[in-house]
Structure 1
Amino acid sequence: MRTLTGLVVLWLISMSVFALFYVVPSNVARTLGGRQATPETIAAINERLGLDEPLWKQYASFVGDALQGDLGYDYYHQVPVTTIIAQAVPVTLSLAVGAAVIWLVLGITNGVISATHPRSLADRSLTAFALFFYSMPSFLLGLVLLYFLYFKLTQAGYAWFPPGGYAPLSEGVGPWVNHLLLPWATLALVSAAAYTRLTRGSMLDVLSEDYIRTARSKGISERRVTYRHALRSALTPIVTQFGIDLGQLVGGVLVTETVFSLPGLGQTAIIAITQQDLPVIIGIVLFASTAVVVANILVDLAYAVLDPRVRIS
């Protein structure tokens, strides 16, 4: 059922994208070709897309090509859109997955500590930490980290961090990690604050349940009660939020990629919008939408692992 719902959502998105870019413009070929399109380019677009065919045939061709991995042709750079996306996806994936691991570990750990020591100094300190970073925009945190950890340290003779850019894994793990440390910290600190609050609230609710008191009365160690019983039940809302956040991150992190000059999907989308490169915009919208839908389906599947009472149809 979840998979069917996801497919329906993707179908509706494909219809919206097709209507927005293929039906609304008065001259579709001119719009897709961009401001610098020549008459020859416009004629080639008309022939390639079959724009003289009925709309239902154009839509069927649009969906069929997308299902086969053909997201169109970028006439601005004279390459397939999939080539541009393939170059940007590893950057965004590296940023999203690395930051997600950090904020999950940090957020869940802080939330568990706060929930198991309510109203203590640790709880109040971690709550203050969460509120501070939760209220800080990611672009501001990124600029602050660049100023102190790159500019100031470099001035002092300690060039530990690069000013931005991306080093692929083919150049070695060290350069790859070094270029992503500050972007990871920017995303992780902001997101970890939300996960700290979410974990704390969920854990406090679970720790007050009858089965937790029963487990304690049987003499089970507090550590096992906390991590084996309470945390597992408290993870359901956290997994829900994680699926949404990770899907959006894979779709492109506009602000962070722009601040740190990372050539990922976010920065690629901004450049395409600036240049009115519509085929690339269409391709990124479809890819990002698919990433969000797939992430939510995986979250639903994870529910059955965390809570056997949940049945996924």
Structure 2
Amino acid sequence: MLFRFLLPRIGFGLLVLFLLSIFVFVLFYVSPSDPARIIAGDKATEALMEQIRVKLGLDQPIYVQYLKFVGGLLQGDLGYSYRSNVPVADLIVARIPATLSLVFGGMVLWLAIGIPIGISSAKRPGSLRDRIGQSFAIIGISFPTFVLGMVALYTLYFLPTRFGVMLFPPSGYVPLTAGAGQWAWHLILPWTTLALVVAAVYARLTRGQMLEVLGQDYIRTARAKGLSERRVIYRHAFRSAMPPLVTQLGIDIGLLLGGVIVIEQVFGLLGLGSLAVTSVNNQDRPVVIAIVLLGGVFVVTVNIIIDTLYALMDSRVRTSGRA
């Protein structure tokens, strides 16, 4: 039953990736100007452009070029960066650990901050605790990420170092293989910056969903039966409020994995976001193409995982999906 529920969703995801590949191919390869010139750059020699034309098969029909393009992608060939003189796949593999570390570490923090604030606000709407929670959500949503990052660097790095104390490093990414302590130490400020901004969204969403659920008849029945408030909140109400949170989590992770551009730039993390900015500035089209396609793969994959979690949490989802 689970497979039958997921099959159309997997098919739709593959259709989205197919359409995305066509869009990217047309955008970068089917243009009035010479695609070889676009990929190699204005300063490329005629010999280099001829090499690119041969590699891409630009003298062949469009559909043959597209099939060759897709065939390379399916084999893990993301193209070649003539600006960096390395395969694009090597650049992606070198940069993706920083982005994965930032996104999933930040996810743990923003869930640990946002959801408890939302639940606490919903338990006593209109109270001082609720007003504080809503203020946190409003400030977090409206606060620009780069400003929060610069404030964190100034207060937690620049000011302490003036007195000879280094609480946190200014920038850079240290791989996990160099030690968990160093890895986490270099990511604490980026994690916190990302988490505070995104946690505001989850606090507001959790509060809204919990208020709606706590007004349902079955919650009043559970309280009338003498169940503890903690059990009513976490066993019944929060469980019913989870689906929108899971949906939002899937959207956020999928989008952020495509590159946390602002935070990576502020903290000097060499991830996919900073690679995308550098590639756009250098007009390194093969790298841009790879990052766009990789972002699409992340979004589709995460959404399929979220649908799977829905089906496992609630059998009614599988039944309605099959119907």
Task: Give the TM-score of the pair, scaled to structure 2.
Answer: 0.94
Superposed CA deviations along residues 2-46 of structure 1, whole A, max 9, x for unmatched, are: 111111111111000000000014211111112332222111111
User: Is 1:212 aligned to residue 235 of structure 2?
Assistant: no
Match of 1:166 among 173, 187, 192: 173
Q: CA 1:92 to 1:25, structure 2 compared with 1: closer, same or farther past 3 Å?
A: farther
- Distance in 2 between the 1:225 and 1:102 partners? 25
- Distance in 2 between the 1:267 and 1:198 partners? 30
- Distance in 1 between the 2:163 and 2:147 partners? 23
Instruction: Please tell me whether the aligned partners of residues 233 and 306 of structure 1 are also in contact (alpha carbons under 8 angstroms).
Output: no
Superposed CA deviations along residues 94-132 of structure 1, whole A, max 9, x for unmatched, are: 000000110011111111111112111111111111111
Residue in 1 aligned with 2:3?
A: none
What is the identity, as a one-letter code, of the residue corresponding to 1:248? L
Match of 2:252 among 245, 248, 258: 245
CA RMSD of aligned residues (A): 1.1
Q: Secondary structure at the match of 1:310?
A: helix
What is the identity, as a one-letter code, of the residue corresponding to 1:126? G
What is the identity, as a one-letter code, of the residue corresponding to 2:202? Y
Instruction: Please tell me whether the aligned partners of residues 25 and 31 of structure 1 are also in contact (alpha carbons under 8 angstroms).
Output: no
Residue in 2 aligned with 1:18?
A: 25
What is the identity, as a one-letter code, of the residue corresponding to 1:277? D
Residue in 1 aligned with 2:109?
A: 102
Residue in 1 aligned with 2:234?
A: 227
How far off is 1:179 after superposition?
0.8
Task: State the aligned residue count.
Answer: 313
What is the identity, as a one-letter code, of the residue corresponding to 2:225? K
Residue in 2 aligned with 1:114?
A: 121
- Distance in 2 between the 1:303 and 1:18 partners? 34
Q: Secondary structure at the match of 2:242?
A: helix
Residue in 1 aligned with 2:203?
A: 196
Instruction: Please tell me whether the aligned partners of residues 76 and 277 of structure 1 are also in contact (alpha carbons under 8 angstroms).
Output: yes
Residue in 2 aligned with 1:60?
A: 67
Residue in 2 aligned with 1:275?
A: 282
Instruction: Please tell me whether the aligned partners of residues 216 and 225 of structure 1 are also in contact (alpha carbons under 8 angstroms).
Output: yes
User: Is 1:180 aligned to residue 187 of structure 2?
Assistant: yes
Residue in 2 aligned with 1:69?
A: 76
What is the identity, as a one-letter code, of the residue corresponding to 1:80? P
What is the identity, as a one-letter code, of the residue corresponding to 1:42? M
Task: Give the TM-score of the pair, scaled to structure 1.
Answer: 0.97
Describe how 1:15-54 pairs up with structure 2 within 5 A.
15-54=22-61
- Distance in 2 between the 1:304 and 1:172 partners? 38
Residue in 1 aligned with 2:154?
A: 147
What is the identity, as a one-letter code, of the residue corresponding to 1:39? E
Instruction: Please tell me whether the aligned partners of residues 74 and 80 of structure 1 are also in contact (alpha carbons under 8 angstroms).
Output: yes
User: Is 1:133 aligned to residue 147 of structure 2?
Assistant: no
Q: CA 1:119 to 1:235, structure 2 compared with 1: closer, same or farther past 3 Å?
A: same
Gaps of at least 5 residues in structure 2 are 1-7
Superposed CA deviations along residues 20-78 of structure 1, whole A, max 9, x for unmatched, are: 00001421111111233222211111111111110001101111111111111111111
Q: Secondary structure at the match of 1:108?
A: helix
Residue in 2 aligned with 1:93?
A: 100
Gaps of at least 5 residues in structure 1 are none
How far off is 1:304 after superposition?
1.9
Q: CA 1:70 to 1:25, structure 2 compared with 1: closer, same or farther past 3 Å?
A: farther
- Distance in 1 between the 2:308 and 2:238 partners? 18
- Distance in 2 between the 1:260 and 1:306 partners? 38
What is the identity, as a one-letter code, of the residue corresponding to 1:140? V
How far off is 1:308 after superposition?
2.8
Percent identity for Structure 1 against Structure 2: 54
Match of 1:305 among 304, 312, 321: 312
- Distance in 2 between the 1:40 and 1:302 partners? 53
How far off is 1:307 after superposition?
2.9
- Distance in 2 between the 1:79 and 1:3 partners? 33
